[in-house]
Structure 1
């Protein structure tokens, strides 16, 4: 992570998308119209290519043209998503300060490093709880980081998120085996089968960031050091969480949703079984039939909030799929706040998902809110360190985060296989 900033406190490259701010509500971008035009060009060129293949010939010019159009589609779609991101950040008006005295002391600690008696008192209490050092960030600062992470993290946006104050989290599941029977008005009513209960623990881990700033930057009255640190931390936390929520191995980090898919390391962990995986019907590519089978396999109660989750490269492969009458299954985003769709369902760009290749789970389909549980431990802690990397001051920031699948029946996976 690049820890340096310029004199206006803007994070350098690698500091995360959250550095982007919207000064006003973004206008409808020209890229929406351009995306529609590019998609029409894509359909025509792709059809031409298919006709050439049927005729037993391949034209390099057509292939190159299609590749350029696909690149333009990806670029335009990303531009629209960026505008949607700015709108989401711009609508975040923050929270009212709940403890002005503590917040003021914490901000002074940022700038000068001199802890007050109140800060020391709270640190002592925190240390007795879980052994962590540093000072507990004000509630509104903690909440601000979580909000910004939710804006830029597709997993946080789509998952269920809870905050706990204890050391861990467990959920109790019933096996659903309940006995019953028909009886007459005065007949005896013997005891029926009692359902069994099973508890499932969710793995917690400690996430940290350690950004640095020069003392001169901190002393600059024009710099909002608190906002700068929140930007740095939320961007880095989001990057690490995104990896863990998808493919985390549970070792000092959450269990990723992909590990619960049939054949994954956690396939046998959940009382309700694994996330069902369907094959694509081809050893190396996706097919329309597999896509429809994937949708049909999801239980009706989860269809209302069902979405596709895949990376941008996989979207390029799905973009070429057609129905029997020649209509394309993928449709671009042609309005602000409206995602692209695949077979009529929203598509969420999930950068950490595997691509379309033999054996990979290239797409997930289902209700992620019902499927995945993100667990935040109350409190972000910051330890100011002016000694380790002179002349820079390090801000060692920690947060406890956990996660795992709470209901595997609400999700399906598409594996690239015959």
Structure 2
């Protein structure tokens, strides 16, 4: 979760608790550096590390991960809660759609929603039943997903009203050139265009509520539905945006063909070798990461991020450059990301572990590399019968995704 992901939220002033956690994480990192330096000294002097020191380094690294997760959870908690509550504070009446939807969720009264449908001259019910949620609720769900879904938080996101987004791209680009003011202009060749398609797939969650919760007027329905579906949607999205098959899920960027950067062509993702099977070559870890960074063109590099899972992050946390400086640094402020070589580091658990032949680290401008397509509308079907005395809310949204610019990111392949 970074500052750009939080940009859509208005956050409260940083609390003493959040500031204290940030300071604690910095102190923990100092302890980690001292312990890891001791481990490295032992390796140099004894040609073998002390087990106790290695275990201490691992314990502190685990503590760093735990503190970072606590900071992220607390930062999310500090976000302004829900649009519905903001309206109430300002004294604004709820929208007609929101009021009708709230009556449906709380008591199953469909009549106001159906009257709204007729008045708006729009179809709010699908063949599978259910109603579209109000804009306030859909916005609440979208904002929460942007904050906790790692790839969505850095990718480009586009909302469409159709089942498939078709995006043209130029294979060769239009021809151009320099001429003097009075010189003849030769006719330029037309650009060769192809088309990328991004179909949307159905994603669902089924939160349950008690009658007492629905009867409680103090419960904000927008916030409650957003909280209930955010983790389910984020987990499914996170897996699909990385490893999705493109058939029943969005196509993940790791499932596209990969090729060594020297043989890169459009339609494939370029890779850079780490220099050793299953890891970094001795003393050359920083060199491999630098090579990965500079295989990316300058126009992409300025907004680039590293993406890896927490086990890979634990490995790179121990790396130093030739001057003895650590490549990994903790977040500089609450809500910011840790950095690797000065670039933000995004933790995506679905990325593969460091192992022979695995492309465990990605680096690129994901806003230009990967496109997330949201079909407009989140649908809710109220089911008070299946799991009595609980009321189920079958919530669906349609999401697609895929690579839109194959030159905007590169992968580090852990092979010689």
Q: TM-score, normalised by structure 1?
A: 0.84
Change (3 A) 1:131 1:252: farther
Q: Given that residues 273 and 408 in structure 1 are in contact (C-alpha distance below 8 angstroms), is that contact kept between their aligned partners in structure 2?
A: yes
Deviates more, 1:97-106 or 1:340-349: 97-106
How many pairs does the alignment contain? 392
Report SS of the residue matched to 2:40: helix
Secondary structure (helix, strand or coil) at the match of 2:392 reads: strand
Report the equivalent of 1:26. 15
Aligned residue number for residue 349 of structure 2:
351
Query: SS of 1:305's equivalent?
Result: coil
Q: Residue 127 and residue 136 in structure 1: after superposition, are their counterparts in 2 closer, same or farther (change >3 A)? A: closer
Residue 43 (str. 1) matches residue 38 (str. 2): no
| C-alpha spacing 1:370/1:184, structure 2 compared with 1 (3 Å) | closer
- How far apart in 1 are the matches of 2:170 and 2:295? 23
Quote the RMSD (CA, aligned, Å).
3.0
Among 108, 111, 118, the alignment partner of 2:103 is 108
Mapped contact 2:129–2:381 kept (Cα < 8 A): yes
Are 1:58 and 2:49 counterparts? yes
- Which deviates more from structure 2 when the two are superposed, residues 377-386 or residues 218-227? 218-227
Partner Cα distance (1:221, 1:50) in 2? 60
Shift of 1:226: 4.3
Structure-2 change in CA distance of 1:181 and 1:354 (3 Å): closer
1:312 Cα offset (Å): 1.8
2:123 aligns with one of 98, 123, 126: 126
Cα drift, residue 203 of structure 1: 2.4
Q: For 1:23 and 1:323, locate their aligned partners in 2 and report how far apart those are by CA, in whole Å.
A: 38
**What does residue 299 of structure 1 align with?**
297
Residue number in structure 2 paired with 1:79: 70
Deviation string 1:38-80 (CA, Å, 9 cap, x unpaired) is: 2222222222222322322332221222222222222223333
Matched with 1:70 is 61
> Contact 1:358 / 1:417 at 8 angstroms: preserved in 2?
yes
CA contact (8 A) 1:33 1:334 kept: no
Q: 1: CA distance between counterparts of 2:49 and 2:100?
A: 70
Could you tell me whether the CA contact under 8 Å between 1:119 and 1:135 is conserved in 2? no
Superposed, 1:203-214 pairs within 5 Å as 203-214=199-210
Q: Which runs of 5+ in 1 are unaligned?
A: 1-20
1:134-190 CA distance string (max 9 Å, x none): 111111111111111111112221111111112210100112344457778887655
SS in 2 for 1:146: helix
Gaps of 5+ in 2: 1-9
C-alpha distance in 1, partners of 2:133/2:210?
A: 21
2:301–2:364 CA contact under 8 A, matched in 1? yes
Change (3 A) 1:255 1:190: same
SS at match of 2:377: coil
Please say which of residues 148-157 and 176-185 is displaced more in the overlay: 176-185
Relative distance call for 1:379 and 1:326 in structure 2 (3 A) is same
Q: Deviations over 1:327-380 (max 9, x none)?
A: 211112242233221112111222222222222221111111111111111111
1:406 aligns with one of 396, 400, 404: 404
Residue 279 of structure 1, CA deviation: 1.4
Q: Say whether the 8 Å CA contact 2:259–2:270 is kept in structure 1.
A: no
1:69 and 1:34 mapped to 2: Cα distance?
A: 12
Given the superposition, is the C-alpha separation of residues 58 and 171 from structure 1 closer, same or farther in structure 2, using an over 3 Å criterion? same
CA distance in 1, matches of 2:110, 2:410: 51
1:263 & 1:131 partners in 2: Cα distance?
A: 44
Give me the whole-angstrom Cα distance separating, in 2, the residues matched to 1:104 and 1:302.
Answer: 45
Is 388-397 or 186-195 further displaced after alignment?
186-195
Residue 278 (structure 1) aligns with: 272
Aligned to 2:388: 390
> In 1, distance between residues paired with 2:107 and 2:287?
63
Distance 2:127 2:107 in 1: 25
Helix, strand or coil at the partner of 1:65: helix
Aligned-partner SS, 2:157? strand
Q: TM-score, normalised by structure 2?
A: 0.85
